A and B are shown apart, each in its own frame.
Chain A
Amino acid sequence: MYAIECKNLTHYYGSKLIYQNLSFNVEEGKILGLLGKNGTGKSTTINILNGFLQPTQGECLIYGENTQNISPATKRRIGFLIEGHIQYSFMNIHQIEKFYSGFYPNWNNKPYWELLSKLKVTPTQKLSTMSCGQRSQVALGLILAQDPDLLILDDFSMGLDPGYRRLFIDYLREYAKAENKTIFTTSHIIQDMERLIDDVLIMDYGKILAQQPIDTFMNRFKQFNIKLTYPDQEILADRIAVNIEKVKDKIEFYTYATEEEVKGFLNSQGIVYESFEEKKMSLEDAFIGLTRKY
């Protein structure tokens, strides 16, 4: 059963194509991370999912309803975190909790006050006087109190220091797994995603580069560091090479192929090398390897 189904999405801003025929699904109970460089359409996708943008073609469904016309009952099942942890900053932490509690029958303020007890804030402190990190905890606490089935988080790590990011991620993952929640999230800080997500969706300009469970992706996608004997030798791109980055005699070879297949490929091209070793990658390394450095 899918919480989110997007089918054949195409979107243009004016004459600029953002993506064409983009399709993906998010299974219920999974945490999916949407990764992509700036301008690849992450925010566009989030806006379409929240019904704030009508795609040029295609549609997205959340729990079977078109996102352009989501019923209040389904909205109640969706928690939404806006980029930058935007909230009603003219309210204080008591007022905002009281306000939201009026909309959600299953409102449970325990996690909200639990999270806020870790912060050095007063009950009548306005959100506008809080730091970005403190506001992130307010925004997260409100979502947890809402107890939604699906959480859509737009760049949750923006503006947070490492401590707050870690607190946010650990709390969120524990909550999602314990309560079988679905999360669709983007973040600019990819190392955060590694601790959080089950599935990864990597977008490039106009297309999807990878969509699979993160463990499968990290096991299959590899980086080999090769030192050439003759720095002038050029490696011709082949279907097994996803990306080749060459600086003088050093080559970073990114591929889904095995070590034997890569060596066979190099031999077939007559490439002579002094050393050949597989490098253990982080998700950030893999992301850059897949999407190139620019």
Chain B
Amino acid sequence: MFKAIIYKEWIKIRLVVYASLVLGLLALINIFLNVRHDILFVDAANYWYAFLFRGVIYFGILKFLPFIMGGGIAIAQYFPETVSKRIKLTFHLPYRENTLLIRMHAFGAGMLAAIYAVIILLFIGGSAIFFPSGIIIDSLLTLAPWFLGGLATYFLVALILMEPMWLYRAFYAIVSAGFVTLFYKIDSIGGYKHLLAFLALLTLLLSCVVLFSGYRFRKGEM
């Protein structure tokens, strides 16, 4: 039965998964072509200096990509369930409703995390060609809140889409905008270093909120 759930979820999100991977790959190609060009014409020492002491981020193009991917996968996965209240079909399957929703959600979040992992690994591999490990670690600390923000976006968009009442949806959207902004506010290198554990905990807590919308739907809030 779990295989069947994954089968349906994959049909819904596969195009967005492919598009996200292509987008991520293009962004990485763009980043490392620029880095190569700048190092050739400026020289590596100055380039590293600009990063370490002037806070010039060479991978700024990646900032909102996780956010777009998170929102995209949530929409691809949950919007078809809400059209004509198709979620009724899903809740009617011979499965505990919460277990079903958790598995759907885990699959979506897992696919998103896998896309992020591919992008981060390629980023580390590309960076290793041009930069010492200290710069790579600082870069990863800068990227981390953006990717956590992408996961939080996935969880919150799912909550909004699964909510049966428009008034609540609007309320959730406003609160969610505030939450997600938290992940993208500081622009300096490693600026979130001391907040990462808090943001990770916040993202973890948000992972379950979709169950509340599912519960409200099942109790007949329409």
Contacts and interface: CB of A to CB of B under 8 A. Distances in A.
Interface of A: 47, 50-54, 72-73, 75-76, 78, 80, 82, 84, 86-91, 95, 98-104
B94 interface: yes
Chain A contact residues, majority secondary structure: loop
B18 to A, nearest CB: 16
B94 A103 contact: yes
A103 B12 CA distance: 19
A52 B91 contact: yes
B4 interface: yes
Contacts of A87: 86, 89
Interface residues of B, number: 23
Interface string B74-102: 00000010001110110111111000000
Interface in B193-214: none
A82 B88 contact: yes
Contacts of A104: 94
A103 B11 contact: no
B89 A82 contact: yes
Interface string B6-27: 0110011000000000000000
Interface string B139-183: 000000000000000000000000000000000000000000000
A103 B88 contact: no
B54 interface: no
Contact of A52 (B3, B84, B86, B217): B217
A220 B88 CA distance: 39
B134 interface: no
Contacts of A72: 94-96
A78 B92 CA distance: 9
A86 B86 contact: yes
